[in-house]
Structure 1
Amino acid sequence: MSYRLDAVVGEFDRLRGWAVGVPGAVVAPLPQRMGLLPLSGGLRSGLPDMLRDLSWSGPVAHLEADFWGGDGEQTAVVWRGGVREWGPVHASDFRGPRDEWPINAALTRLGLAPAGPGVPDHRDLFVEVGLGQGRDEDDWHRAALKASGAADYDAWYASERAARASEERAAAERALSERLPGVPVALDGKDVIALLGIPPGRMVGAAIRHLQQLHLDHGPQSRETAESALWAWAAARGAPSRAERTADSASPQDRSPGGI
């Protein structure tokens, strides 16, 4: 699988501000308040002037990488205060320490810090900053487009956190309706539908999962115990109670005064 990178990395909001009105310029958000501006078309031809302009308000790095099947090369250069501060540094042999690889060394000079021991790839800023999330220019353009509605980095980050929280809640809800393998119950799905008067769907799965949890917590349940437990479980979730279901199922004649 191939990987290609040719981009400028710096503070997201600063790159975003520079890119306004520049044809073809987009900025994708990265962790640690960073942004990535892929170099496409005319941006590449004016690169020295761009790096000089961007670096007056803070450091930026031009990062290049080209890999195929594990073999490849990296080149990195850092600009600060309108001048080239470090590099270009090139490498095609990556047997040395990761923090000395060109891209990681450049990211360190931008002020990025590793997460620390105990975190996977904690010495590889390339991974921590998310440079592996996109494999080519098209991927980074899509990431930039996805973030284009955010006013700034904080707004994008808040939106991402909200989206992740929503996904986690949805996953937790799905898990509650999934049957546990190998745990028997006294009632099957058809029994639950008939008993509670609910349509096939996630609530049926959640009811079965509840009965399975009772089996794990208290041992095998009789059919009568399982039915009573389900009535209580359903009522706690706003479903009609057993008495209400019984009343609804009674005939109009049975419900009329005096049985008339």
Structure 2
Amino acid sequence: MSNHGYGPRELDLDAPSAARAYDYFLGGAHNFEPDRRFADEVRAMVPWVANVAKLNRSFLQRVVRFYLDRGITQFIDLGSGIPTVGNVHEVAQARDPEAAVVYVDFEPVAWHSAQTLLADNPRATIIQADVRDPAAILGHPDTRRLIDFSRPVGLLVVGVLLFVGPEDRPAELVAAYRRELPPGSYLALSHLTDEDADPALRADVERLIALYWSANEHVHSRTREEFASWFEGTELVSPGVTFLPDWRPDSAEERDDVARPLGYGGVGRV
């Protein structure tokens, strides 16, 4: 438990969890009836919600490959959720079995599930901690065991800051992590947005946010200007801040997705 009052959540399988609903949207198996019921309710009102989850996961995978191409072999994934199919350690260790991955999530089922999934993987671990507490995460014994801070690190803050409210100052939070990264490290961010969506999609986003708030999962949409400001102190990698499927796409197919204007992504070099 951190001294900031940001501690791991208690395990509550009767209440839906955003991490487990995300796993369900991605086709994972680490979710429970309340999560599936909530996710199905959301999908009934906001049909594209699983599309956003998949675009976000696809962005994450492209970023990991981009990091590997630049010689990055150690990764910290904040708000990772449950590391199911196609997550960071699978992508990274397929190319470099010695790649080191530290996942961070405070949702107890994500933590327990990941511990089981990673039990036989000495180069990957999960820490149960709150992303709003950089000191606890970066100073954690498991982080220090796997991550060598004398070498560049690939930090992933993908699909988690939408759960961080303005009162927790996300710009300052990102800066706190960035300051601890060695030169040559990279920072990847993604976030929900609706500023370029048509009126129907924007109304859907408002419904989505209301549904998550009703489940005590506080979700926020942000503008390109605010999102881009979080890269201060880094050199933005081409093509800069884009919609998720536009960031170094593998194929053109995702760029036709109905959810294309609903997420921003970008990578900055420290």
The TM-score normalised by the length of structure 1 is: 0.25
Higher RCO, 1 or 2 (CA under 8 Å, sep at least 6)? Answer: 2
Structure number with greater Rg is 1
